[in-house]
Amino acid sequence: MNLQAIRPGIEKDEAEHRREICAAGVWLYRRGFAVATDGNLSLRLDASRVLTSPTGLSKGMLNPEDLVITDLHGRQLEGRLSPSSELPMHLAVYRRRHDVRAICHAHPPVATGYAAAGIALDKALLAESILDLACIPVAPYATPGTDDLAEALDPLIEHYNAILLANHGVVTFGPDLLTAFFRMETTEHIARVNLVTELLGRQVLLTDRDVDRLLASRHRSRNVASDPCSRTRTADTPSADDTTRSRRDLEVLLAEALRTLNDDV
Ligand SMILES: [Zn+2]
């Protein structure tokens, strides 16, 4: 068995979940997404228990027995170490999104740079990222490790699967650990591509037509959770009015997407 592998899905025994959180920690650490003791990971073992990384340890050096089990209110049920200080943020997501079974929080440097600059990753630059993450907003700054951070995220949790945390980092979530991790990796990739286009001094956004086609395919696959990105109507420079219209359209699409999602859970 490859001890560094993470299988898709959530139907696993507790020992496998523990091993996979440690493997995801190594992935985060080796990619430079979580330096020193940064970052944290969690997953829902069942309706009432959460398995999470402990506070104060490098995510690249976790052992399965280091992990902590809590209930959905943060009360510790198992483990000799204390749970991650960001557990309130994780629990806020689990309480709001019953489809979410795993959460990944890290500080990947380019996406965190955008978070520190207060710039959302909301441009329709990459077709494949629209299919999964659409826009990645910035949540207002709140002190890490406090309930304030969960509150800052609250209005965004239902609409997005990846969120930049101002002056802090990134949180991503999904139906299993592999998806949550991939969304972290994709967020950093999108940030890098954004940065390169900004360095090149030129960005050609997808047109409305392109985005609508992508959204249609996303609806067909029922993989919907968040709103699409800023886009141009043509290759011309978009006017402020275009942007306003797009955002209104997006709100309608978003409401529709959420209805679909709620039907699924
Ligand atoms: Zn953090």
Active site residues: 86
85-106 pLDDT, tens digit per residue, is 999 999 999 999 999 999 999 9
What mean pLDDT do residues 55-83 have?
Answer: 96
- The whole-number pLDDT of residue 146 equals 86
What spacing in Å lies between the alpha carbon of 15 and ligand 1's midpoint? 26
- The whole-number pLDDT of residue 235 equals 35
- The whole-number pLDDT of residue 107 equals 98
- The whole-number pLDDT of residue 237 equals 37
Residue 213 pLDDT exceeds 90: no
Q: Are 47 and 27 contacting, i.e. CB atoms less than 8 angstroms apart?
A: no
What spacing in Å lies between the alpha carbon of 239 and ligand 1's midpoint? 37
Q: Phi and psi (nearest 5°) for 192?
A: -65, -45
Q: State the architecture of 14-200 in CATH terms.
A: 3-Layer(aba) Sandwich (3.40)
- Most confident region among 14-18, 224-228, 252-256 by mean pLDDT: 14-18
114-144 pLDDT, tens digit per residue, is 999 999 998 888 887 777 887 899 999 999 8
Q: Are 181 and 24 contacting, i.e. CB atoms less than 8 angstroms apart?
A: yes
Residue 223 pLDDT exceeds 50: no
21-41 pLDDT, tens digit per residue, is 999 999 999 999 999 999 999
What is the residue whose two structure tokens read 């990971």? 41
> What's the pTM value of the predicted model, to 2 decimals?
0.82
- C-alpha–C-alpha distance, residues 177 and 143, integer Å: 26
What spacing in Å lies between the alpha carbon of 45 and ligand 1's midpoint? 23
Residue 240's pLDDT band (boundaries 50, 70, 90)? Answer: very low
- C-alpha–C-alpha distance, residues 15 and 150, integer Å: 29
What spacing in Å lies between the alpha carbon of 37 and ligand 1's midpoint? 10
What spacing in Å lies between the alpha carbon of 224 and ligand 1's midpoint? 27
Residue 148 pLDDT exceeds 80: yes
Distances in Å between the Cα of 115 and the Cα atoms of 91, 191, 264 are 22, 10, 31
What spacing in Å lies between the alpha carbon of 104 and ligand 1's midpoint? 10
- The whole-number pLDDT of residue 241 equals 36
- The whole-number pLDDT of residue 221 equals 55
| Spans of all domains in the chain | 14-200, 208-264
Instruction: Give the residue with greater pLDDT, 226 vs 178.
Output: 178
What spacing in Å lies between the alpha carbon of 39 and ligand 1's midpoint? 5
What spacing in Å lies between the alpha carbon of 34 and ligand 1's midpoint? 9
Q: Find all residues with CB under 8 Å of 197, minimum gap 6, and list them.
A: 125, 203
Long-range CB contact pairs, 36-40, < 8 A, 24+: 38/106, 38/107, 38/169, 39/104, 39/105, 39/106, 39/107, 39/169, 40/84, 40/85, 40/86, 40/87, 40/90, 40/105
What mean pLDDT do residues 190-204 have?
Answer: 94
Q: Find all residues with CB under 8 Å of 259, minimum gap 6, and list them.
A: none
- The whole-number pLDDT of residue 195 equals 96
